[in-house]
Amino acid sequence: MLKLEGVSKHFGGIKAVNRVDCAIEEGGITAVIGPNGAGKTTLFNAISGIYPPTEGSIRFGDEGFDITGVPAHRIARMGISRTFQTTRLFANLTVLDNVKIGFHPRTRAGFMGAILPLLAAREEREIRLAGLKCLDFVGLADEACKPAGGLAYGRQRLVEIARALAGSPRLLLLDEPAAGMNPSESERLMDLIRKIRFSDVTVALIEHDMRVVMGVSDYVYVLDHGEKICEGAPAEVGLDPRVIEAYLGCGS
């Protein structure tokens, strides 16, 4: 689904990501873990087109289409959606309106809709229905008409996932989806992540909650100081002395 070769992102002298190779398998759930400042979000930012990598290549899909340095709005249209580490909802808009924003890369009426109101009205109805389906998928259909800012934090995170799904992604990048969730919310999140995968969306997630990482992922990449230090099945990676050292500052 996605192949990164020698991807780096440097900010002046800071090597936030340095020569990382990794592959995200289609239909799987891949986790990217590592201590604070390891370069995980920077890696997702490079993939999703927030900023171009300093070097390396990023290829997407069966055709291996080169998406290196392609801007974020085009990446979204190609089928890569993401959520962010901190919630980015419009607090005063309803939950449904926040989700409807996620359809933007795929709307068609555009300028024609402005001069042909019927076209715009039909598209608006379709988007509303599709938005409600996304909310139902994440278990929030009952909250559709509430202001997003009034929801508990864990539920706001689910609204963001619904919004990302609205773009009909082939690949969904989740940046710390369990942050701020209590144990029962993160349990439900794990079920949701599995359900997303079974709906034919490949998932990659950054996560600090090891219960979530171990519970859902098929494969794990570990970054430290911008470099990939280890990769493998979750159980193997958890026992690797390089990983233990990166997290705890001491070998096994």
Binding site for ligand ATP (CB under 6 A): 11, 14, 16, 34, 36-42, 85
At closest approach, how far in Å is the CB of 197 from ligand ATP? 23
Q: Smaller CB distance to ligand ATP: residue 144 or 243?
A: 243
Rounded distance between C-alpha atoms, residue 161 and residue 126, angstroms: 20
φ/ψ of 196, rounded to 5, equals -65, -45
Q: Smaller CB distance to ligand ATP: residue 50 or 119?
A: 50
Our separate counts of H helices and E strands in the chain read 10, 10
HSE value, Cβ hemisphere, 13 Å, CA-based, for 175: 19
Q: Smaller CB distance to ligand ATP: residue 54 or 85?
A: 85
Q: Are 90 and 163 in contact (CB under 8 A)?
A: no
At closest approach, how far in Å is the CB of 144 from ligand ATP? 31
Reduced to 3 states (helix: H, G, I; strand: E, B; else coil), residue 175 is strand
At closest approach, how far in Å is the CB of 51 from ligand ATP? 8
At closest approach, how far in Å is the CB of 60 from ligand ATP? 20
Q: Smaller CB distance to ligand ATP: residue 18 or 156?
A: 18
Angle between helices 117-137 and 153-166 (to 10 degrees): 130
